[in-house]
């Protein structure tokens, strides 16, 4: 299921990239994408390393 969600998110990002005309302003677009990727990565790292934050069952 998570692979499907990743593929859908990637498709949404591609459509957003196209309509934002990112190729006209490549460096600001790449910088914004990198900052967003880092923010999501840090949030997920913090969430997944916290002990039982939402009552998840141990694997």
Contact 36, 28 (CB under 8 A): no
Question: Between 45 and 21, where is the model more confident?
Answer: 21
**Domain chopping of the chain, boundaries:** 2-49
- Residue 41: predicted pLDDT: 84
Read off the pLDDT of residues 34-58 as tens digits, 9 standing for 90 and up.
998 899 888 877 666 666 666 666 6
Percent above pLDDT 90 for the chain: 32
- Residue 56: predicted pLDDT: 63
Question: In angstroms, how far is the first alpha carbon of the chain from the final one?
Answer: 17
Average pLDDT, integer, range 8-25: 91
Provide the whole-model pTM: 0.61
Question: Tokens representing 40?
Answer: 């999501």
């Amino acid at each position: 299921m998570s692979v499907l969600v990743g593929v859908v998110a990637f498709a949404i990002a591609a459509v957003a990239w196209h309509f934002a005309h990112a190729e006209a302003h490549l460096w600001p677009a790449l910088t914004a994408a990198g900052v967003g990727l880092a923010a999501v990565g840090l949030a997920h790292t913090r969430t997944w390393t916290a002990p039982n934050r939402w009552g998840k069952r141990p694997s």
